[in-house]
Amino acid sequence: MDFLTIIQVLDSTIRLSTPLLLACLAGLFSERAGIFDIGLEGKMLAAAFFSAAIAAVTGSVWLGLLAGTVASLVLSGLHGLASITFRGNQLISGVAINFLAAGMTVLVAQDWFQQGGRTPSLIGGGRFSPLTLPFAEALRDVPLLGPIYYELISGHSILVYVAFLCVPATWWILYRTRFGLRLRAVGENPAAVDTAGVSVVGMRYAAVAICGLLCGIAGAYLATALQAGFVKDMTAGRGYIALAALIFAKWRPWQSMGACLLFGLLQAVALRYQNIQLGDFVIPVQVMDALPYILTVVILAGFVGKAIPPRAGGEPYVKER
Amino acid sequence: MDVMPKWAEVILVPLISLVLAAILSAVVILGIGEDPIAAVEIMVNGALGSTYGWGYTLYYATNFIFTGLAVAVAFHARMFNIGGEGQGMLGGLGVALVCLYVPWPHWTIALVAACAGAALFGAAWAAIPAYLQAKRGSHIVITTIMFNFIAAAVLNYVLVNLMRPAGSMDPATERFPAAVHLPTLHELLLPLGINFSKSAPANVTLLVAVLACVAVWALIWRTRLGFGLRAYGHSETGALYAGISPVRIIMISMLISGGLAGLMAVNSTMGEAERLVLNATEGAGFIGIAVALMGRSHPFGVFLAAILFGFLYQGGAELALWTKIPRELIVVIQALVILFTGALDNMVRMPLERLFLRMRKG
């Protein structure tokens, strides 16, 4: 494996990590506020479809991004209604949202475009184009650092940079603002937050809305940047991998980035190599596919440091009367 | 304490949820420019209008009875087994091993052995998440989701690398021997003078599913273990105080649940495909969630809900055949049923409770 191949695999790692990272941070906001969300997958899928559909119709990827985000926010609102207002089971609500998105996207896609549940391929302004960072061309021929800068850091779509900037932003919001303190408190001890005169319901809706926003960007990235258009079930379990990364990172922002990069690397390697030959021993591609899930189970089992979820997670808050 | 009479709890609430889901489904059909009433007619004709339609409806229903019971048993111990899909896949592996590598003299013995194999593999796949929940406190929902994906990878590996016959491109096992062919409803009903459709896949496993309903009912409401299960589901501390071991309850309920989910493979793999294919479960594990929620976790309710979903599945296939409505409509209906009977349960329940309170006072 030469230097250029490594760069290419890492480059593909960054592109594949981006949707995972956005969805993972989305889940982080929601779960830190005590709302379990296994509907990340569905929200991403809905956003992917609506962003691709609107981008295909209008030719503007930004309108697509907006539409995708709105679709994701609507599903978030539904999740909030079920799990905050009506104090239903958050897990069941998440399952319902995943199926709703899986069914509705194909139904609407078939109705609008008649192409077997996909959108037309996006061209020109309908897609996010790669950005070339300053001096990338000029520095290209510098040994070692040149290719790293040109291939690895420069040349991604703007959403990739947004996703990675979201990591410090999330850290800052969670740990350095009053909003973040309250958000974390609502997930640990909602009664205390309520006693302090802060609306638990309001905080949780805010968290769920941020989750919807980030899932919307993640979905739009999938359909308008990573690929050119929507195909049926295109999220392909990424929402669940993001959930796995969130647990792997023990609900912390920087660690989330690490986990998403790791899982992205696994996807990139599986995509490029299929079966990996290590001397006489062959690692089948299925092992690479299953590895994120296996790692998560191991982490959850507490054999490598225990993953403890926010204490009030999954519990609807009932104000005392 | 109970605000509502039992009949309202058991019949009215699910019925209203179902009507709401149906209304929204009709709105969806209208939204894509089709006629909901015509759609229902096609579905009823296609799924219930002939013995062929019934054969498919009952075939799907058999799958959903097993996966619905699996979710229901776990619900009674207040656990959410979302891993029916993976357990069903592994159940299929169990069935395939039993059918392919043992020369069975007659299908009756093979059926018993296949049931044992399917239940064993399904239960084994549920055992690890159950153990992690019981001993290490890992959330069962997350671990069972992860195990669904791991199961898909395992099955993929086994079919592509180990069990695929030489020279075949198709990731599937070879056909099971003729001796393990399960009689279809056509073959079962012919001696009684009923000419049931020959090509429909419903088979003798339907009877096994009905037996499983009765067995689960007896287990939950007529045994000590069932009592412990329900007690644990109502109050963990209460059960602990009564000397019921949570570890034991979690393990046993999840093993039963996984075993039931595995049993669906007897119907789909041995009864219909007669070989193990990739994705043999076709989402039945997830439909079990909707079925259990709608059936209020009672075996009889699960039976009725499974028939309803069998009807929706077969009717939806007919719709896709005759109209421009894609099959995914069923996924939407399934989502709406889960949403209204599961997550938005209180939305229906709260106004009803207020109504009954007012009636009692007035």
CA distance A117 to B25: 19
- Look at residue B331 and tell me if it is in a domain: no
Of A93, A54, A99, the C-alpha closest to A77 is: A93
C-alpha to C-alpha distances, A283 to A299, B36, B164, nearest whole angstrom: 22, 51, 19
pLDDT of A274 reads 67
* Cross-chain Cβ contact B143/A297 below 8 Å: yes
B311 close to B319: Cβ distance less than 8 angstroms: no
**Which residues on chain B are in Cβ contact (under 8 Å) with A90?**
343
B43 within domain boundaries = no
Looking at the 3D structure of chain B, how many domains does it have?
Answer: 1
Portion 280-299 of A in contact with B at CB < 8 A: 284, 286-287, 289-290, 293-294, 296-297
Specify the pLDDT at position B1. 45
Q: Is the dihedral of CA B197, B203, B207, B209 positive or negative?
A: negative
How does pLDDT run across A237-295, given as a tens digit for each residue? Answer: 899 889 888 988 889 999 999 999 998 988 888 887 766 676 677 778 888 888 888 88
CB-CB under 8 Å, A300 with B342: no
Q: Which amino acid is at A245?
A: A
Helix axes A238-248, A285-300, angle to 10 degrees: 40
B71 assigned to some structural domain: yes
Determine the Cα–Cα distance for residues A284 and B282; give it in Å rounded to an integer: 24
Q: Does residue B337 sit within a domain?
A: no
Mean pLDDT over each residue of chain B, to the nearest integer = 90
Amino acid letter for position A197:
G
In a domain, residue B348? The reply is no
**Across the interface, do B338 and A111 touch by the CB < 8 Å criterion?**
no
pLDDT in tens, B31-57: 888 888 999 999 999 899 888 999 999
- H helical segments located in chain A: 3-32, 40-58, 61-80, 90-113, 145-147, 158-176, 178-188, 190-195, 200-221, 238-248, 253-273, 285-300
Domain, as residue range, for B290: 56-302
Rounded Cα–Cα distance for residues B91 and A93 (Å): 28
Residue from B332, B334, B349 to probe the interface with A (highest A Cβ count within 10 Å): B332
Model pLDDT for residues B240-264, shown as the tens digit of each residue: 998 899 999 999 999 999 999 999 9
Which of A72-76, A194-198, B1-5 is most confident? A72-76
- Which uninterrupted H or E stretch holds A281? strand A281-283
Comparing A52-66, A97-111, B71-85, B168-182, which segment has the lowest mean pLDDT? B168-182
- Can you read off the two tokens belonging to residue B235? 């109050």
Q: Which amino acid is at B18?
A: L
Specify the pLDDT at position B117. Answer: 95
Q: Counting runs of H as helices and runs of E as strands, what totals does chain B give? A: 16, 0
Confidence check: pLDDT of A17 > 80: yes
Is the Cβ–Cβ distance between B337 and B18 less than 8 Å? yes
A316 or A72: which leads in pLDDT: A72
Q: What percent of chain B has pLDDT over 70?
A: 99
Cross-chain CB nearest to B146 (options A99, A244, A289): A244
Q: If you measure CA to CA, which chain B residue comes closest to A313?
A: B139
**Residue B27, domain member (yes or no):** no
Closest approach of chain A CAs to the CA of B182, in angstroms? 33
Residue B203 β-bridge partners: B184
Structure tokens at A311: 């204490």
Chain A residues lying within 8 Å of B325, measured CB to CB:
107
Question: What's B93's domain CATH number?
Answer: 1.10.3470
Q: What residue of B is the nearest CA neighbor of A302?
A: B136
A199-233 pLDDT, tens digit per residue, is 999 999 999 999 999 999 999 999 999 888 898 88
Instruction: Check CB contact under 8 Å for A92 and B332.
Output: no
Q: Is the pLDDT of residue A120 over 90?
A: no
pLDDT digits (tens, 9 = 90+) for B344-357: 888 888 888 888 88
Using CB atoms, pick whichever of A88, A106, A293 lies closest to residue B328.
A106
Strands A276-278 and A281-283, bridge-based pairing: antiparallel
- Is B149 in the A-facing interface, judged by CB distances under 8 Å? yes
Task: With beta carbons under 8 A apart, name residues in chain B contacting A293.
Answer: 146-147, 149-150
**Complex ipTM over 0.90:** no
CA distance B7 to chain A (A): 22
Tell me whether residue B113 is in a domain: yes
Question: Has residue B122 been placed in a domain?
Answer: yes
